[in-house]
Amino acid sequence: MMGEPVLVMLVEDNIDHAELVIRTLEDHRIANRIKHFSDGQSALDYLMRRGEYTTPESSPRPHVILLDLRLPKVDGLEVLRIIKEDVEVQKIPIIVLTTSEAEKDVARAYDNHVNSYLVKPVGFEEFSKLMNDLGFYWLGWNTHPQI
């Protein structure tokens, strides 16, 4: 990804959490672009190039997906399952970023091949550090195949 613009897809229905993620990524200069979706259906439409996203120009592939679990229209775990079953997009790293620490949610996410499962810290400083570390690992140090 040397010199390549970095695109992060954020799927988060809580506007306060979304703004915090976006602001933290921008403050740490981790992503060049952040594409935010507030429900699972619109995120899938984008990735599967349906509706208004039919061309690669309107829906470039993200380098990483940050996915909440509790989403309207299509639940986050279902979004994860659909993505990981589709050969066109299954290699995009998906990081669940949620408030749920429930063991059943963690297990179901890994059953559906999530790449990482992170619980959102409550405090701003901890959240900011998490996003900074996450950005450097997944978008800087991690090597992954071309999508």
Q: Could you give the number of structural domains in the chain?
A: 1
Give the global pTM: 0.89
Whole-angstrom distance, CA of residue 119 vs CA of residue 130 = 10
Query: Residue 89 pLDDT more than 60?
Result: yes
147 within a domain of the structure (yes/no)? no
Query: What range does the domain containing 128 cover?
Result: 7-140
d(CA 89, CA 116): 16
Kindly report the average pLDDT of the chain as a whole number: 88
* pLDDT of 134: 79
Task: Note whether residue 28 is domain-resident.
Answer: yes
Whether 146 maps to a domain, the answer reads no
Q: In the prediction, which pLDDT does 9 show?
A: 96
The pLDDT tens digits for 34-56 are 999 999 999 999 999 999 999 99
Residue 133: per-residue pLDDT: 82
**Which whole number is the average pLDDT over 51-65?**
92
Q: Which residue type, as a one-letter code, is found at position 97?
A: L
Classify residue 102 by its DSSP letter. Answer: -
